[in-house]
Chain A
Amino acid sequence: MRDIIIHLVILLVLPPLLLGAITKTKAFFAGRSGPPLLQTYHDIYRLLRKGAVYSTATTWVFRAGPIVSLATVMIAGLLVPFGGNRATFVFAGDMIVFAYLLGLGRFFTMAAALDTGSSFEGMGASREAAFASLAEPALFLVLAVLAVLAHSVSLQEAFGVLATGTWGQMAPVLVVACIGLAVVLLAENSRIPVDDPATHLELTMLHEVMVLDHSGPDLAFIVYGSTMKLFLFGALLLQLVLPAPVLLGAQGVGLFCVGELVVAVLVGACESIIARLRLQRVPQFLVAAAVLGGLGVTILFAGGLR
C-alpha cells in the first residue's frame, strides 16, 4: 500500500518538474536566467482555469484526444517501477501493454490533429506517425534485450533482476541498449534532434503543431501528459543505465528522483549543444536506434551471454 501511494505521488507530482529542469538547462547554456523551475506547474494550473476555443470543423474526437492521451500515459506509468519503489501493476507481459498504451494515446492525438482539417496539423500528424512507427521496433528491441537478460516480460521483474548486478560482463549489451533507448526517448518525447518543441514556425515542429488548436484544460492535459511520458522514458533509461542495488531500498526512491532530474538536465544539454536533424535524416537516426537494439540482441545470442 505504501509503495502504491509513493508511486502515485511521484507519478502525479514530479513530471512537470522535468520540463522546468530542461528549460533551465537550456537557459543556462544560452546565458539567460530562464523561467523558474516550477513554471510548468504554474502553466498547467493557469490553463486548467481557462475556457476553451474549438474549431467549427471538429467532432468529439478532437476533445477525446487529450483525455485519452493523458489516461494512457497515466496507466502506462503504473507499470513502470520507480527505483526501489515497486510498480503498482506488475504482470508478465506488461512491457507489451506499456508500449501499446502509448500507441493508443498517439492514435487519438493524431486523429484529433486531423479533426481540425488544418494542413499544418495534418503535416504534424503525418510526421509523428512516420517517426513513431520507426521508433516502435527500436523500443521493442530494447525491451527484448531487457527481457532476454532478465528472463522476464515484466518491467518490474526485469529491472529487479538487472539491479542485482549485471553490469560487468553484460556491459557491451547494456551500452548499446542504453543508446538505443536514449534515441527512442528523444524521438517519443519530441526533443531535439528529432523535433524542436520551441520553434516559432509550425512547419518545423512535429508534436507541437499537432496540438496547435487545443486550448484551456485540453492543452493542460496535453502538457501534463507529455511531461509524464518524458518522466516514464527517463525512468526506463535510468534503470537501464543504473541497474545497481543502490536504486533499491528506501533511499533508492530519492536517488531515483534525483536521477530523473539528471536525465532532464542531460536532455536539456543535448538540446543546447546539437542541432536538429533534417527531416529526411530522422528516419535514419531511428533506424540506427533499432539497429543498436538488434545489435544488443545479437551480442546476447551470439556471445552466449544468456
Chain B
Amino acid sequence: MIIQRIEINNFRSYYGHNSFELTNGLNLIIGSNGDGKTTFYDALDWLFRTDDTNKMDTKYISKKRIEELSTNEADDVRVAMTYEHKGKSKILEKMFHFTKSYDDEVNTSNYTFSLIEHDGVERILNDGRDFDKDLPYDFRKFIMFKGEDDLNVIQSSNAMKILVDNFSEVREFDSYFEFTKYATAQAEKARDDAQRLDRKNEAEIKRLNQTISTETDILSDIEREIENKQNEAVNFENLLSNIKQSEEAAKLLVSVNGRIEQLSKRRTEIKGRINENYTINLLDDMWILLGFSDIAEEFSTKVSELDKKRRKLEQTYLFTAGQEKAIKKMQTDFVPLPVYIPGQKIMQEMLDEEVCKICGRPAKKHSEAWEFMLHRLEEYRDSLKVPEEEEISPYYLNNYIVELQKSDNTLNDNLADITKLRHIIQERIALNNRLHNDVRKIEASLETELENKKRILAQTDGLSEEQLLANFDKISKWMDNQKNAENRVKTLKSKQVEHQIILDDARNKLSKMAENTPAAIYAKIATIIRNISDAFKTAKEDNKLRLIHTIENEANLFMEKLNTNDFKGTIRIIEKVNGQGEAMLINNDEARIFNPNTALKTTYLMSILFAIGKLLSEKDKTVFPLLFDAPTSSFTEAKESEFFKEISSLNKQVIIVTKSFLKESAPGEVVLDRNRLNSIDGSIFRIEKKKPFDDKKLGTIQTIISKIK
C-alpha cells in the first residue's frame, strides 16, 4: 500500500481544499506548534475509522469556514486518501455536509464513507468499511503512532495475540488440538474396554487405572494452581511496574530524608553549643574585668605605698612614744644601773654559784649579799617590762588601709584569672566562629539535600512525598508477594514433573500389560495419538517462539541501521505468562537495561515496528506505510538527521509529522533549516498558519501547505 495523496477539506484548521502529494519513501510534514500537525494526524485517524463512531461532529469543521458562511450556505468537510494497493488505485473518502442556519447554528448532514476503486475506466463505489480488507483494523496499531508514548505496541494487551494469530500458523493448530484430545480419549477408552477382558491382571489394571485417574486429577490441580500463581506473579509485577519507576525516587527520598534529619539534628546540637551572650558574659562572668590588671596594679602600688607610709608613721610614733617612756622611767629610778652591769645571764650565774664575780667575794645563799644580787636581778627584770597601766595611745583610730591591704592580697590571688580573661574571650569568640562555620557548612549541605528532595519530588509525576513513601512500603511487600508466587510456581513445576513421571509410568505399564492381548492394538493407537497431541502442543510453543525470534532479529537489524554510531544494546521480546508481550533492551551480559534514554527507547520501539511492518508486508505481499506524529522530539539534531537519512533509505513509505528542522531566525520568527533538510532524501512539506491571524480568534486560523521538495 502506497499513499499517493491526502486531501483535507475544511477539517479544523485545514480551511478550503488542501492536498499532500506523497511519494514512496520518506515524507516529512514540518510544522511548528499549532500549525496543524496534530490535525493532519487526526484527520487521517478520522478517515480510517471503520467502526461507525465519530461520524459527524461540528468540532471537525473549519471555524474560519463557518464564520465565512452566510445563512443557509453550506459546505463539506472531506478527508480523502488516494492510494495504490496490490496494483489497484483506490480512494478512501469520508465527508459530511454542514449548513449554517439563520440563528448561526451549524447543522451537519449527508455523511458518506466510501471506497472508490478504479478498474481501468470503470469506477466502482464500495462502502468505506471495505478499507479493512486493505488495511486490517488490527494492523492499524502497528502503523499509526501519535507521539513517542504510543510506540510501545508490544506491551498493549492484545498485540502479541494479534501477531501470533496473524503471523504464525498456530491458529490453525487449535482445531487439531480439539481433535487430538477427543481421539486420545477415544483410543484410551477402546484400550480400556479391550483390557477389561483380561481377567488375569484385573486387579493390577484396576490399580493402574486408579493411579492414572488420581495422577491426572493431581496434575490438573497443579496446572490450575500454576496458572493462578503465574497470574498472581504477573499481577504483582504489573502493580510493581506502575510504581517501580518511583522506587528509585522513593529510595532516594528515604535516604535524603534521613540525611536531612541527621543534619538538622547536628545543626541544633551545634547551635546549642554556640554561646554568644557576650553582653551577659561581661557581667555574669565578669569579662568586663578584661582590662582590670592596670587598675589592679595602680591599686596595689597605691595601697602598698599607703601601707608602708602608715607603718612608718606608726613606727616613728611608737619609737618616739617608747623613748619618752624610758626616759621617764629612768628618771624615777634612784639607782641607775651602771653601764658595765652584768647582764641577766651573768647575774643568774652568780646567784647559782653563790659568788659575786664583780668583787670576787662569796655570797652564800640567802646571805645579805646573795639577797642583794637577787633583788637587783628582779629589779632589772621589772625594768624591762612596760607597765601595763601606762599603755601608749594608738596612733591610728581606723584600720582602713589594712583592709585595703588585705583586699590587695585577695586581688593578687585573682589577678592571674583576670589576665587570662582576654585569652578566654578570644578563645570563646574563635570557638563560636568555628561553630558558626560548622553551622554554615551544615546549612549548605542541608540546602543541597532539600534541593535534592525538591528535585526528587518534582520528578515523580505528581506523587506527593507521602504517596512516594507509601509506595516504598508497597514495593517491598508486593515484591515479596511476587517472589512467593514465583517460588510456588517453581515448587509446583517440580511436583508436576514428579507426578507426570508416575502417570507416564502407570500408562506405560498399562500398555505393557496389553501386549499379547487383544487390547494391544488399542493401547498402541492410544499411545500414538497421545504423542501426536503432545507434539502439537510443543509445535504451538515453538511456532510462537519462532515468530518472536523473527521479529527480534528483524528489529535488531533495523536497530543496527537506525542507531549506527551509538550504544544500542540488543532488543529482546518475551511473552509473559499471561500472554502479553514485553519488549526490552538487553546489555551484552544479558542484563536488562531498565531506563534507556528516550531517544534510544524510541529507536528500539521503532525498529520493532519496522520489523512487524516487514512481517505484514511479507504476509500480505504488500508494504504498509508507517505514520508517526512527532516521534523524534527527544533526538539531538545530529541523531535526528542520521535517523531520517536511514529512514529514507529503507525503501518504505514513512510519513512523519514533526516540528524538527525549524529554527528561530528572529524572536517569534520560525523558519526552515534548509541546510539540514538538504541532506534528507524524500518529500518535504511545510505547514504553517496563514498570516496574519488573530491569536485570540480561532476563526482566523488557517493551515497552508507548501511543498519544499
User: Do A and B interact with each other, yes or no?
Assistant: no
Chain B interfacial positions (CB closer than 8 Å to A): none
Q: Which residues of A contact B (CB under 8 A)?
A: none
